[in-house]
């Protein structure tokens, strides 16, 4: 092996016959957020299997009676909101200074949940569903469906360019000139550069954002971090029978609520009279991931207690 071959190996250079795929603009933005989250957030997770047997039965009855499109995903979104009302410190952003070891927790007035939405081609985007703190169950279901519908009407490449530009400006405003320049250079001049927008394309984009004509799609701000994140693998991939154990919260969020797929499990349990029974229950694996800088598990207690109250008394969903 020659010295040049050693250099190639050290640089992880592709060999003959390998296929190289460069990151798309969506991949770049997602990776940037996740890397920052891993760097900034000392996260910890709480996992449990929730017995949603009664909730599932009530959901099925309500779904057939309500007169609007209700999904279990929308119901869990509403349950998340109800839990956050009891634990407002989880609906927050945390700003932290490593040099001075100081920071501040910004508890948000509004609940804007970042939800994963899967397109028909399998590509997934994290989109905000806004202002859920005062919405009824029907309004929550409608808002979630509207986000999906508008996502299909959105020119995603155009919007992703806008999101990337906003993030580079954010870096520059914090005095991080070198990272800003590096991102700009790699996007426009590097090997994996992203194709530039044409002048006509830019003109159309400016027209969409400045004209008074109604725009039936999503804007760049709809793809930025919400106040909290809801990861719903169970509805996105209903054949994926795995439990989520850990996903980093999206910085500067402090909390992530993750659900897997509802599944049937056989149990030996005691009924209300203390008699031993054998039966099947509906189980929903849930993961609660939070930024340990905000405090300990006591911040989760009000949230978990609210969820348990809803699971044990699911009739309350009819009052929403």
Q: What angle do CA 46, 51, 276 make, to 5 degrees?
A: 120
Weakest-pLDDT range from 52-56, 68-72, 261-265: 261-265
Percent of all residues in the chain with a pLDDT value above 70, rounded to a whole number = 74
Task: Give yes or no for residue 94 having a pLDDT over 90.
Answer: no
Q: Which residue has the tokens 């009052």?
A: 319
Q: What is the DSSP letter of 133?
A: G
3-class secondary-structure state, position 272: coil
Distance CA 194, CA 301 (A): 45
Query: What is the per-residue pLDDT for 84?
Result: 93
Query: What is the per-residue pLDDT for 99?
Result: 76
3-class secondary-structure state, position 266: strand
Percent of all residues in the chain with a pLDDT value above 90, rounded to a whole number = 17
Task: Tell me the Cα Rg of the chain.
Answer: 23
Distance CA 113, CA 143 (A): 11
**pLDDT tens column, 207-235:** 444 444 566 788 777 887 889 989 887 66
**pLDDT tens column, 137-148:** 999 999 988 888
Q: State both tokens at 194.
A: 């992203």
Strands 228-232 and 255-259: parallel
How many CA atoms lie less than 13 Å away from 181 in the CB half-sphere?
4
Bridge partner residues of 93 (DSSP): 106, 253
Beta strands in the chain (DSSP E): 43-51, 92-97, 102-107, 113-118, 124-129, 228-232, 255-259, 263-270, 276-291
Query: What is the per-residue pLDDT for 173?
Result: 67
**pLDDT tens column, 176-214:** 677 666 666 566 666 656 655 555 445 554 544 444 456
Inter-residue contact 154 to 102 (CB < 8 Å): no
Model-level pTM greater than 0.85? Answer: no
Q: Which residue has the tokens 């005095």?
A: 175
Q: Which residue has the tokens 């701000």?
A: 221
């Amino acid at each position: 092996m020659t010295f040049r071959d050693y250099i190639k190996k050290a640089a992880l250079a592709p060999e003959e016959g390998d296929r190289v795929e460069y990151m798309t603009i969506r991949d770049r933005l997602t990776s940037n957020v996740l890397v920052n989250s891993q760097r900034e957030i000392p996260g910890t997770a709480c996992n449990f299997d929730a017995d949603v047997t009664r909730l599932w039965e009530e959901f099925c009855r309500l779904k057939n009676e309500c007169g609007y499109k209700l999904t279990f995903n929308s119901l869990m979104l509403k349950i998340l909101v109800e839990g956050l009302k009891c634990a407002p410190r989880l609906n927050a952003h945390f700003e932290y200074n490593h040099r001075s070891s100081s920071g501040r927790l910004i508890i948000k007035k509004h609940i804007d949940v970042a939800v994963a939405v899967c397109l028909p081609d399998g590509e997934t985007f994290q989109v905000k569903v806004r202002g859920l703190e005062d919405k009824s169950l029907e309004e929550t279901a409608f808002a979630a469906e509207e986000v999906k519908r508008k996502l299909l009407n959105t020119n995603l490449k155009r919007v992703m360019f806008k999101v990337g530009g906003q993030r580079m400006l954010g870096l520059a405003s914090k005095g991080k000139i070198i990272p800003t320049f590096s991102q700009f250079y790699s996007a426009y001049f590097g090997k994996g550069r992203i194709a530039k927008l044409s002048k006509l394309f830019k003109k159309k984009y400016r027209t969409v954002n400045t004209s008074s004509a109604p725009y039936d799609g999503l804007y760049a701000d709809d793809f930025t971090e919400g106040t909290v994140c809801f990861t719903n693998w169970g509805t996105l991939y209903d054949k994926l029978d795995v439990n989520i154990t850990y996903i980093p919260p999206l910085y500067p969020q402090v909390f992530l609520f993750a659900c897997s797929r509802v599944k049937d499990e056989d149990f030996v349990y005691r009924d209300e009279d203390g008699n031993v029974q054998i039966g099947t229950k509906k189980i929903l694996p849930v993961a609660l991931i939070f930024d340990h800088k905000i405090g300990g598990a006591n911040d989760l207690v009000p949230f978990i207690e609210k969820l348990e109250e809803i699971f044990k008394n699911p009739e309350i969903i009819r009052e929403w």
